[in-house]
Amino acid sequence: MKYTFNEEKAFDIVAIGRACIDLNAVEYNRPMEETMTFSKYVGGSPANIAIGSAKLGLKAGFIGKIPDDQHGRFIESYMRKTGVDTTQMVVDQDGHKAGLAFTEILSPEECSILMYRDDVADLYLEPSEVSEDYIANAKMLLVSGTALAKSPSREAVLKAVQYAKKHQVKVVFELDYRPYTWQSSDETAVYYSLVAEQSDIVIGTRDEFDVMENRTGGSNEESVNHLFGHSADLVVIKHGVEGSYAYSKSGEVFRAQAYKTKVLKTFGAGDSYASAFIYGLVSGKDIETALKYGSASASIVVSKHSSSEAMPTAEEIVQLIEAQSKLKKIE
């Protein structure tokens, strides 16, 4: 089964939300208190997904707000050089700064992120700074959950979703739940549900769906049936090492196994998964193959130091899938 898009649109994907700075520990197996050196990368889920999509050959655009300083210029320049259209990145004029994420790599299983998200530029994107024409010209709009955490970014995203619905642009909601910035679980559930119910494709971990539903131990069947009662026609739920499932409104269920890899760190997997899954759909692969692309891309990124810089090419993804399938045949 394949997923169809309006082929007349110029952009394959336009992402909206945060673009910030990742500072990843260069020294492994060491607590952050003792870490002295970090490498700088562009970070933020929607920015990473736009970068990953561009590296896979999709025409990607980005809507967001960046600070008027060295970090802001680094973010814009890096994204532009990877092939992302940055004409809709707004430069903040009120002194807000870029979000910072320091990462600690104690072991492959023990990674933590220290976030600085107070008063950051990306959460000050105004509804008036979202272009209707730009969104109308995309096959899909990628929305990330963190952008809903504060006003005016929250209203800017809701306006973007309205424009997408008006112009038959598919809305893809990557749940991207981060507990910081949100005031309460009730607030999170309200705004996540509001956007999920207007989205055509919803992607997240089982835990993130539970956050959206404000409960624990929810079932995939209940989650997808609720969303199919609204706009969704494809729901992807990830279960970590157990693999991921895609549910289509027509009743089909697809599964992809997680690919074995030498894990270096645990962060970055979700963004690489989303970009490769979207690439699979846009390039005309069936849903099951798109799931495999997502899983393979995630395993590549967790084996490398960065998130954005480590986003693989389509050739690397195909090579991993073929190599793993050969191994299974041998076994």
Burial of 11-43, coded b for 16+ CB within 10 Å and e otherwise, reads: bbbbbbbbbbbbbbbeeeeeebeebeeeeebbb
Residue 206's H or E segment, with its range, is helix 206-213
Look at 22-31, 104-113, 173-182 and tell me which has the smallest mean pLDDT: 104-113
Residue 175 counted as domain residue: yes
Residue 198 counted as domain residue: yes
Domain containing residue 249: 13-330
Average pLDDT over residues 25-43: 93
Tokens of 100: 């910072």
We report the CATH number of the domain holding residue 320 as: 3.40.1190.20
pLDDT at 151: 98
Residue 1 counted as domain residue: no
Residue 171 counted as domain residue: yes
Average pLDDT over residues 89-100: 98
Inform me whether the pLDDT recorded for 218 exceeds 80.
yes
pLDDT at 328: 61
Sheet of 100-105: strand order equals 38-43, 20-25, 100-105, 111-116
Average pLDDT over residues 272-280: 97
How many domains is the chain partitioned into structurally? 1
pLDDT at 329: 58
Residue 6 counted as domain residue: no
Residue 2 counted as domain residue: no
Average pLDDT over residues 284-304: 94
48-61, pLDDT tens digit by residue?
Answer: 999 999 999 999 99
d(C-alpha 276, C-alpha 312), whole Å: 9
Average pLDDT over residues 199-219: 97
Look at 15-24, 48-57, 190-199, 301-310 and tell me which has the smallest mean pLDDT: 301-310
Q: DSSP strand E in 12-167: where?
A: 13-16, 20-25, 38-43, 60-66, 85-91, 100-105, 111-116, 140-144
Inform me whether the pLDDT recorded for 331 exceeds 70.
no
β-strand partners of 238: 205, 244
Residue 72 counted as domain residue: yes
d(C-alpha 168, C-alpha 137), whole Å: 10
Average pLDDT over residues 71-93: 98
Residue 259 counted as domain residue: yes
99-156, pLDDT tens digit by residue?
Answer: 999 998 888 788 889 999 999 999 999 999 999 999 999 999 999 999 999 999 999 9
Inform me whether the pLDDT recorded for 264 exceeds 90.
no
Record the pTM.
Answer: 0.96
Tell me which residue of 43, 215, 193 sits closest to 117, measured CA to CA: 43
Residue 245's H or E segment, with its range, is strand 244-248
